[in-house]
Amino acid sequence: MKVFGDSKSGNCLKVKWVCDQLNQPYQWVETDIMAGESRTAAFLAINPAGQVPAVILDDGRPLAQSNAIILHLAEGSDLIPAEAYDRARMLEWMFWEQYSHEPYVAVARFQVRYLGRPVGELEERIVTRGRAALQRLEDGLAQSPYLVGDSLTLADVALVAYTRVAHEGGFDLADYPKVQAWVGRVEQDLNITDLSPA
């Protein structure tokens, strides 16, 4: 399997972490979005949306969108709950991540870290909704150590990707102690040792 990803991207690292966790062999193809490498004709033939991550599966079929990829890779593993309701709760978090977390926490990080925008110049809506997303995580972790019960699922993988580097977008995880502790647990479970993706 080939994984086309940018190491700066939490969405891409999700795929790497799941492959590593499941001992799934893969070839990582570094694809620098800042250099336009996801907009070349060759890449667009793999993913017409021009986004990373994208994979070419062992059988040659392409697949894009981080959460779709990790769901496919983890099929039949302990990363997906066996019980139907818990599986639905995992998906609930994963859908929420792409709609209500990533567009604010990840965007703030990208603008500050990679575009050099001062935190004080971020659009207020991004900051407000980013804080609301982190608070939603804090509340969601009030009853259990992971987002869906007592063990790691794809919901945790999906949401830790940008939460763990939220400080790079001006968010202080010290304000969210349950989230901070959860990040540590998930990083340990996934053997993530680097302080930042890139």
Q: Are residues 100 and 171 in the same domain?
A: yes
What integer pLDDT is reported at residue 125 of this predicted model?
97
Q: Are residues 17 and 89 in the same domain?
A: no
What integer pLDDT is reported at residue 75 of this predicted model?
97
- Amino acid in position 167: H
Residue 197 counted as domain residue: no
What integer pLDDT is reported at residue 193 of this predicted model?
77
Q: Are residues 92 and 175 in the same domain?
A: yes
The reported pTM is: 0.94
Q: Are residues 45 and 89 in the same domain?
A: no
* Listed residues 53, 73, 93: the one ending a domain: 73
Whole domain around residue 30: which residue ranges? 2-73
CATH number at residue 64: 3.40.30.10
Ranges of the chain whose pLDDT falls below 50: 195-198
What integer pLDDT is reported at residue 85 of this predicted model?
98
How buried is 42 (Cβ within 10 angstroms: 0-12 exposed, 13-18 middle, 19+ buried)? exposed
* Listed residues 42, 73, 104: the one ending a domain: 73
